[in-house]
Amino acid sequence: MAEVRLQGSEAELENPTLVEGFPGVGLVGKIATDHLIEHLDMRYYASVHCEGLPRIGIYRGGDRTVRPPVRLYVSEAHDLLALRSDAPISAAAVAEVADCLTSWIVEQDATPIYLSGLPADLDDEDSRDLYGIATGNGEEHLETADIAMPPEDGVITGPTGALINSAAREDIDSVGLVVECDPQFPDPRAASVLLEEGIESIADLEVDVQDLVTSAEEIRAKREQLAQQMQAIAQEESSQAKPLRMYQ
Amino acid sequence: MAEVRLQGSEAELENPTLVEGFPGVGLVGKIATDHLIEHLDMRYYASVHCEGLPRIGIYRGGDRTVRPPVRLYVSEAHDLLALRSDAPISAAAVAEVADCLTSWIVEQDATPIYLSGLPADLDDEDSRDLYGIATGNGEEHLETADIAMPPEDGVITGPTGALINSAAREDIDSVGLVVECDPQFPDPRAASVLLEEGIESIADLEVDVQDLVTSAEEIRAKREQLAQQMQAIAQEESSQAKPLRMYQ
Amino acid sequence: MAEVRLQGSEAELENPTLVEGFPGVGLVGKIATDHLIEHLDMRYYASVHCEGLPRIGIYRGGDRTVRPPVRLYVSEAHDLLALRSDAPISAAAVAEVADCLTSWIVEQDATPIYLSGLPADLDDEDSRDLYGIATGNGEEHLETADIAMPPEDGVITGPTGALINSAAREDIDSVGLVVECDPQFPDPRAASVLLEEGIESIADLEVDVQDLVTSAEEIRAKREQLAQQMQAIAQEESSQAKPLRMYQ
Amino acid sequence: MAEVRLQGSEAELENPTLVEGFPGVGLVGKIATDHLIEHLDMRYYASVHCEGLPRIGIYRGGDRTVRPPVRLYVSEAHDLLALRSDAPISAAAVAEVADCLTSWIVEQDATPIYLSGLPADLDDEDSRDLYGIATGNGEEHLETADIAMPPEDGVITGPTGALINSAAREDIDSVGLVVECDPQFPDPRAASVLLEEGIESIADLEVDVQDLVTSAEEIRAKREQLAQQMQAIAQEESSQAKPLRMYQ
Amino acid sequence: MAEVRLQGSEAELENPTLVEGFPGVGLVGKIATDHLIEHLDMRYYASVHCEGLPRIGIYRGGDRTVRPPVRLYVSEAHDLLALRSDAPISAAAVAEVADCLTSWIVEQDATPIYLSGLPADLDDEDSRDLYGIATGNGEEHLETADIAMPPEDGVITGPTGALINSAAREDIDSVGLVVECDPQFPDPRAASVLLEEGIESIADLEVDVQDLVTSAEEIRAKREQLAQQMQAIAQEESSQAKPLRMYQ
């Protein structure tokens, strides 16, 4: 039953970039991708169905349409695909989701950008460092965009880790962006770094991130409330980058 | 083994409406559907068998006939199908039940009405707001019936959520009715709103709901006793609508 | 691997009755069936093998023969089959056992009598009420035997419930006998009601139940010791009838 | 993957006897079988591989060879096979192990002797009673060897129980020896009863058991240390015979 | 999906030796293998993919390339393969990993050296004893290298145990090196014994282990920090050798 199912007409794309936004630590990938979908007015393109994905219906205020929780959006103008997930992914579903999405990515001739937070001891105002990793020949994109090398060994877990694992196995060209972030709360500031310093250059886009920085203020104001929601995610299979200790 | 099995002669139906009544929060869908079956004197039409559904036998006082717990009823006069479940559905069965019922719905050329409660802070006397969501072209039914749009983002879980998820995947025309309800006790008042403000208009029916309002009084009188029963349901996979928080 | 395997020569039977004796509340079905097998000197006829049934060996004092725990016995003189189980059935095995036995019952052209206790608040000396339920045309047997209708809604669970569920799905003729019983201890008095007021008439048999009434005395004498054994059964999937509450 | 794999040349055997030594209560079967293998200088003959068997390597002091934990040994001179297990068997593996070994036993035309302890309240010096049970025509061997009938109903559990269950299902000739034993500690004295009063006669062998009786002394000396090891086995699926209570 | 997938050009090897480095007690195998890969400048050769292996991505500081956690490295100059695992292996994956790797080893005509720690009561300065075990004709390599026989019975568990189990089942030539080690902390000193007294001679290599001895000092300095990491591994399926007690 694992499949990506088109919802609407097929898009005309040429070697598109795919931005992946599964929820993980600091929600950095989800915030960045949701922001991209909204600001580029991307079209709902396909729904993702794999064993283990939550069988729930999602709707928006002021809109009657119900949709599955994991969806792909498209912008033909930007040769861009974006993966949005409105629910955390259970550990049991991670392997199949990764295999199923990777097959689809290969069919689309797409270059994926995988997004992950790296928990760090940061103040709200601190800058967030960004590192780039890659599979296949993805490194070229990182060099062009002048993104730093990782300073120490690391491991990417969760659905994002599984996707990168599949990309490494298949030796396809992909890019992984790892950004320092708050380990406990949503970190829109880190998401804006992903967009401004990474995605914009690699996917040749421009997107205003001012409201992400503003929302960082709001998040600071309601930290307690968010803490609970983040814990719920943490109990699922949450994507994150972690330093790899010598004897892990 | 997943199948819907006819129990009796095939009905003559033309684009029937199917009202779904799995137990969920406030039991709103089950109360409304059971009421419909009784008041329209609907005929037992088919039993539903899927991996994971409870293998139990149900019988009624004053009647010797034993039946499976999940059943479909029909009224040819009203071009109406109704799904009754006398047992909660386990999380493990939800996906298969949804797939199996959705295939059958497509075969019948039926338009499903999915019913869900939205837990709200309500007094017994408060009015319950009703919202309409849809997949495919289901929206037209909601416009005709003048049912409000959801005011905020939301997610539908449980067997009802899985059914809507399947409908969205298959892009079939379906309607979802979401009614505010008591989060802890059976809420016949909310069920009467589903019937009077939603189902009657969409399915072109009339049904007296006076005794539902009366039973609301009785329920208030034996809240403690019901609380236990509701908890048992809550431990299963209970359908409900919930607000979808920005960073859920 | 699910199968009923003959152990000995095939019996000549014509539309036999099958009495089912899985252990459930009050052990009423097991006590009645074991009694029948012993008093009619029924022959060991077949062993039942399904995924999830206990893989254990059972032997009797003064007899060297080891047998599987779930077995069928036959009396050609009485056109009678009886299902004996010397072990409780795990929830995981219930569905397959029900499907596998129901197929075999259909092949044998047998009319099954399913036996279930209904926990009631009873003194040892109180009479136990008996109710009859049915699938297919099983009702005729109940009318002939003058067995009462159930006075209120109910649900049958456990292996017996699964068997009745299968019979309802297949719409085969079957009878269910529900007898009030002690909720915690073996209740031979209730078993004797099943035999005298139900099975004897439906299967056209006579069997002395005096020693069952006597054993009720003994059981009263060693209640503590039995309580432990019954708890062990309760933790398995125990058959019983229960009232079905309006909002269960 | 379930298979018995020969390790070395095929043996010439004529209706051999197979002594089964899975660890169970009192370790009676394992101690007896290990003793037999050592004293008859039996040759390592085959390894047993089934889903769920421990994937570990076993080696002996003073010997470099590593072997799987469940193994068959052969003595062509005595027309004898012996099953040795150096690890307890998990409940999940019991069914497949029993099916796989029983198929092999049938192919070899072997008569199995299954060994089980029956926990009893015994002093170290007390004699241990031995009982014989059987499937198929195994009873003849017990009569010839003059082994007593079981005095009361009983049930055999664990891997040994599953093997006897399979033998009963297939109606093959097999013998089960049940010996009273210490419920908590290894009981070499009970193992010596199995050998002297049962196996020797049935398999037409002679073997000195004096050192088993001696080791009983040692075991008494280090009971605490052994208790831990026995508990570990008890948590696995441990073979034993138990009285079958009337209403178990 | 179980497979070893080449990542780069096929190597020219003639009966190569394969050194296995799954994490186990004292991390002796992992430390020795990682050291070998680094000091012989071995080339990343293949990734290992089996059901149950962690689906994560691993990267190194100063290098952008992401790789799967279980990988094979090659040195054509030394006719050498090395298995590196940057993550512990779950018990559920052990059997498939062993089968899949063993098939590949047979195809490569490779002689595997399996590495295991044997927890011992040691001071940091104590020498670590080394024992050699084998399957097939692996014993010859041990005799040539003058490696001692195991002084007492033992059992090898974890992924290494499963690999040796598979080798014993297939009766292929393999060697197992068992070294005494610290039961709780990484033990580079024990790893250096594996290299100097075992691997170097069997695989006809030379490698400087001085920095392993130095790192032992560092490890002693940060024992607390490491204890946590080691506990995480212990909860997974950790390879180790253990004495096999008489009645285990």
- Does residue B231 carry a pLDDT above 70? no
Chain D residue with minimum CA distance to C187: D247
Contact E151 D61 (CB under 8 A): yes
Q: How far apart are CA B238 and CA B177, in angstroms?
A: 16
| Chain E closest-CA separation from residue A136 CA (Å) | 8
Tell me the C-alpha to C-alpha distance, in Å, between residue A162 and each of A136, A150, A210, D113, E8. 16, 19, 31, 51, 21
**What's the pLDDT at B76?**
97
Q: Do chains B and D touch (3 or more CB pairs under 8 A)?
A: no
A24 Cβ under 8 Å from any chain E Cβ = no
User: What does the alpha-carbon distance between residue B224 and residue B186 come to, in Å, rounded to a whole number?
Assistant: 12
Name the nearest CA neighbour of D29 among D203, D159, D202, D220.
D159
Whether residue C59 and residue D133 make contact (CB cut-off 8 A), yes or no, is: yes
State the Cα angle at C48 between C45 and C50, rounded to 5°. Answer: 170
Residue A154: closest CA among A115, A114, A118, A113: A118
> E244 vs D86: CB contact, 8 Å cut-off?
yes
Query: E135 near E97, Cβ under 8 Å?
Result: no
The reply to whether residue A157 touches residue E56, judged by beta carbons under 8 angstroms, is yes
Domain boundaries, chain B: 4-247
Chains D and E: how many Cβ contacts under 8 Å? 93
Q: Under DSSP, is residue E76 helix (H, G, I), strand (E, B) or coil?
A: coil
pTM across the whole model: 0.90
Mutation target vs C (from D101, D142, D157, D169; most C CBs, 10 A cutoff)? D169
For residue B205, CA distances in Å to B75, B128, B147, D122, E154 come to 11, 21, 16, 78, 78
Please give the ipTM for the structure prediction. Answer: 0.91
Instruction: Identify which of A144, A116, A127 has the alpha carbon closest to the alpha carbon of residue A204.
Output: A144
Please report how the helices D91-107 and D158-170 are oriented relative to each other, as an axis angle in degrees rounded to 10. 40
* Contact across the interface for E61 and A152, Cβ inside 8 Å: yes
pLDDT single digits (tens) E83-106: 999 988 988 889 999 999 999 999
pLDDT band, residue C231 (cuts 50/70/90): low
D139-176 confidence digits (pLDDT tens): 999 999 999 999 999 999 999 999 999 999 999 999 99
- Sequential DSSP letters for chain B: --EEEE-SSPP--SS-EEEEE--BGGGHHHHHHHHHHHHTTPEEEEEEE-TTS---EEE-TT--B-B-SEEEEEETTTTEEEEEESS---HHHHHHHHHHHHHHHHHHT-EEEEEEEEE----TTS---EEEEEETTTHHHHHHTTPBPPSS-EEEEHHHHHHHHHHHHHT--EEEEEEEE-SSS--HHHHHHIIIIIIHHHTT-----HHHHHHHHHHHHTHHHHHHHHHHHHHS--BEEEE--TT-
| B87 in C contact zone (CB under 8 Å) | yes
The crossing angle, in degrees rounded to 10, of helices B223-235 and B210-221 is: 100
What is the Cα–Cα distance from D63 to E61, expressed in whole angstroms? Answer: 45
Q: Please name the member of E47, E64, E186 whose beta carbon is closest to the beta carbon of A132.
A: E64
Q: What is the C-alpha separation between B153 and B246, in angstroms, rounded?
A: 8
The rounded mean pLDDT for chain D is 90
CB pairs under 8 A between C and D: 93
Of all residues in chain E, what percent carry a pLDDT higher than 70? 91
* Shortest CA distance from E58: residue in chain A: A155
Question: How close, in Å, is residue A142 to chain E by CA atoms?
Answer: 9
Q: In the predicted model, is pLDDT for residue A31 greater than 70?
A: yes
pLDDT tens, position by position, D15-44: 999 999 999 999 999 999 999 999 999 999
A248: confidence class by pLDDT, cuts 50, 70, 90: very low
CB-CB under 8 Å, D64 with E134: yes
Interface probe for D, chosen from C59, C85, C235 (most Cβ of D below 10 Å), is C59
Taking alpha carbons only, the member of B141, B85, B91 closest to residue B112 is B141
* Dihedral sign for Cα atoms in the order B59, B63, B64, B67: negative
CB contact under 8 A, E60 and A164: no
A183 close contact with E: CB closer than 8 A: no
Q: Report which DSSP code applies to D148.
A: B
pLDDT reported for residue C91? 85
Contact D169, C56 (CB under 8 A): no
Q: What angle do CA B191, C168, B50 make, to 5 degrees?
A: 65
Sign of the CA dihedral with A233 first, then A236, A242, and A245 last: positive
Instruction: Identify which of B31, B62, B87 has the shortest CB distance to residue C149.
Output: B62
pLDDT tens digits, one per residue of C108-158: 999 999 999 999 998 877 899 999 999 999 999 999 999 999 999 999 999
E30 contacts chain A (CB < 8 A): yes
Contact B164 A47 (CB under 8 A): no
Give the closest-approach CA distance of E208 to chain A in angstroms: 19
> Which chain B residue has the Cα nearest residue A186?
B247
Yes or no, beta carbons of C244 and B67 under 8 Å apart:
no
Q: ∠ CA A33-A39-A43 to the nearest 5 degrees?
A: 75
> Smallest CA–CA separation between D12 and chain C, in Å?
31
pLDDT tens figures, B67-87: 999 999 999 999 999 999 998
Tell whether E146 lies on the interface with D, counting CB pairs under 8 A. Answer: no
- CB contacts of A230 in chain B (<8 Å) are 247
Instruction: State whether residue A49 sits within 8 Å of chain B by CB.
Output: yes
Contact in structure between C115 and C21 (CB atoms under 8 Å)? yes
- CATH class label, C4-247: alpha beta
Chain B residue numbers with beta carbons less than 8 Å from the beta carbon of A27 are 247
Is residue D78 within 8 Å of D227, Cβ to Cβ? Answer: no
Residue (of E110, E136, E117, E134) closest to E241 by Cα position: E117
φ and ψ at residue E159, rounded to 5 degrees:
-60, -35
pLDDT at residue B236 above 70?
no
Chain D's closest residue to C234, CA to CA, is D248
pLDDT in tens, C186-208: 899 999 999 999 999 999 999 99
Question: Side by side, which strands form the sheet with C240-243?
Answer: B57-59, C154-157, C240-243
Q: Calculate ∠ Cα D154-D158-D160, nearest 5°.
A: 80
Q: Tell me how far CA of residue D135 lies from CA of B93, C106, D173, in angstroms.
A: 41, 30, 5
Query: Is the CB of residue D113 less than 8 Å away from at least one CB of chain C?
Result: no
Contact E156/D60, CB-based, under 8 Å? no
E29 touches chain A (CB under 8 A): no
Min mean pLDDT across D190-194, D215-219, E47-51, E227-231 is at E227-231
Distances (CA, A) of C72 to C80, C81, D169, E88: 10, 7, 13, 50
Q: What pLDDT does E147 receive?
A: 97
C63 touches chain D (CB under 8 A): yes
Q: How confident is the model at residue B125 (pLDDT cuts 50, 70, 90)?
A: confident
Rounded to whole angstroms, how far apart are CA atoms E26 and E3? 28
D57/E132 touch (CB, cutoff 8 Å), yes or no: no
A58 close contact with B: CB closer than 8 A: yes
Beta bridge partners of C18: C81, C112
The CB density around residue E24, as the number of other CB atoms within 10 Å, is 31
**D101–C contact, CB cutoff 8 A:** no
Phi-psi region of A109 (alpha: psi -120 to 50; beta: other; left: phi over 0): left
Count H helices, E strands: chain D? 8, 11
Residue of chain E nearest D186, judged by CA positions: E247
Report the mean per-residue pLDDT for chain A: 90
Per-residue pLDDT band for A238 (boundaries 50, 70, 90) equals low
With b for 16 or more beta-carbon neighbours within 10 A and e for fewer, the C63-78 pattern comes to ebbbbbbbbbbbbeeb
Residue of B nearest to C116 (CA): B57
pLDDT score at B228:
62
Q: Kindly state the average pLDDT of the residues D56-60.
A: 94
Q: What confidence score (pLDDT) does residue E248 get? A: 36
Q: Residue A92 has what pLDDT?
A: 84
Cβ–Cβ gap D162/C55 under 8 Å: yes
Smallest CA–CA separation between A128 and chain B, in Å?
Answer: 20
C-alpha–C-alpha distance, residues E171 and E159, integer Å: 18
Distance from the C247 Cα atom to the nearest Cα atom in chain B, whole angstroms: 7
Terminal C-alpha separation, chain E? 36
pLDDT digits (tens, 9 = 90+) for A168-222: 999 999 999 999 999 888 899 999 999 999 999 999 999 999 988 888 777 777 7
- Cβ D64–E133 below 8 Å, yes or no? yes
CB proximity C214 to D under 8 Å: no
Query: Which residue is closest to A141 within chain E, CA to CA?
Result: E64
- pLDDT tops 80 at residue A47: yes
